A and B are shown apart, each in its own frame.
Chain A
């Protein structure tokens, strides 16, 4: 057999072997399973630019107003203010929601910002919103099993310290920078 054929086959074999390894790794990559985060409705990922575009597309006026408020609230935020809400325990562990001055509703109702899949949560359980100074407040919306900030059950709207755990059923969320 000619030297050339054998050399080509030798290198070809190595290439095929490595191709198998690479394809196998690709299979592993596509084999991830677990939970998936799906954005429903108009997602608010973009910056101011995207917002302007969407405003141009004439959203309902109420929303528009709220967005602008949100934008202003954002600008007014002091240093050290939390920027995201993180779910640290429960079935949604690892979910984060960016805090952009909007109200975040929590509950089992499917139009909540964070839909809790938790037997101990009410359909409209609690909400988290910024007050005029940009301080984030958590308010229990008359839930059956209550909302806990640290160890205390909430009775009135309460400011949230950074990193304090808010417990709803089996779910724990906290605000982080």
Chain B
């Protein structure tokens, strides 16, 4: 068999290399872009380089540097892109908030607070990476996390609402907290643990009817409970975004766990039915839908916020008006620095810049899904799908709301928008994803050498 020597193929494993140096280079890049933007805003608004540029760049650089060192030490095989993208989005968010602070008609300065929240977020990120050695530990807390998530979701009912939505917990003297942001991570843990155990029953015990797999009645139980719960959030907290997020998250994870298209069909039918039912008697939701359908209608002598956001996108055009040169001060909405920050972004960096920023979100989500594909244990797979799914749904709900694709809901753009809970929760989310990706990409330990295997060992060039 001499010919075998002429056409010999060896299949070897390429272990994913530790990509920490790539991450460092990307991080430097990710810190420099916001600094550039900061100088740009200063030049446009004041005509001088802003005084805080050194402190700001050192601060952001320090945060990124510490985060990088901790990842290098505690998660050496983690994904190289998630940390730089999160840093870049957070840095850009700080710049845009600072830029809106320059418009004194928009209320008190928020950027210093946001910087503090970002620091806290990075601190939580580091704590999770250091203390959560293995994401499978979270699996033990499946039902505890369900209870915690329910408490977090229900708690805001007992606190006064802000701007028509009851999604805050107010602690006197400390400020307010948006528990929904944390609940989305915790409920993803519950879904992942629950579905990992139940997915066979959900996937296999079903009847076939008109090309769809109909699940058994008792298996429908959990989805109906979650559906009722998200409707209750919608009714009692009048928060469209959170209920959409939770129901969507559940359907996504159910579909990934069972591979049954019927769940998607059921999910869409149930959510459409629920939304229509609630919209018929809940005035807050009705207003939002009405504003969405008739954005140009005059209200109290002015146009709706939806129309104002559309005006600012239009004013920005393709290339934008330039940082610091937009007319965001004219947005008289309720939350120009949080929910509507995308309008300012769209105006000042234009369609081209907004697309780049949405692509960054897309890349972050893609890395999360890639982590799910690479993860070896079903819990890690489901958890990373759940976390990136929740992140993706949130981006969709906010961006869709601001651009007028769907009715606006009270949610914040992850990392970009002003909001303490949001930025802290999203840093925690990225930390868990990095932990899973470190486990997934870590090269398998070398098998114990056996004399038996010596003769057939594959020698790699």
Contact = CB atoms under 8 A, between A and B. Distances in A.
B363 A25 contact: yes
A113 B10 CA distance: 8
Contacts of B47: 1
- Which of B17, B44, B322 has most A Cβ within 10 Å? B322
Interface in B433-461: 441, 455-461
Contact of A18 (B6, B88, B356, B458): B356
Contact of A115 (B9, B37, B323, B461): B9
Contact of B1 (A10, A23, A43, A103): A103
A56 B180 CA distance: 74
Contacts of B319: 10-11, 14
B269 interface: no
A31 B356 contact: no
Contacts of B44: 1, 6, 9
A162 to B, nearest CB: 21
B356 A21 contact: yes
Nearest to A102: B3
Contacts of B15: 33
Interface string B31-42: 011001100100
B320 A14 contact: yes
A38 to B, nearest CB: 5
Interface in A9-32: 9-14, 16-18, 20-21, 23-25, 27-28, 31
A111 B33 CA distance: 53
* Interface range for B: 35 or more
Interface stretch (B210-218, B347-355, B403-411): B347-355
Contact of A24 (B10, B321, B363, B441): B363
A92 B13 CA distance: 10
Interface stretch (B79-87, B148-156, B307-315): B79-87
A152 B3 CA distance: 28
Contact of A1 (B1, B43, B367): B43
Instruction: Give the 3 A-B residue pairs with the shortest CB-CB distance, closest first.
Output: A10-B322, A33-B16, A108-B456
Interface of A: 1, 5-7, 9-14, 16-18, 20-21, 23-25, 27-28, 31, 33-44, 60, 62-63, 66-67, 70, 91-92, 95, 97, 102-105, 108-115, 117, 123, 127
22 contacts: A1-B43, A1-B44, A6-B44, A13-B33, A13-B353, A16-B32, A23-B26, A24-B85, A24-B360, A27-B22, A31-B19, A35-B13, A36-B14, A39-B9, A40-B8, A63-B6, A66-B3, A67-B6, A105-B4, A111-B5, A112-B8, A113-B4
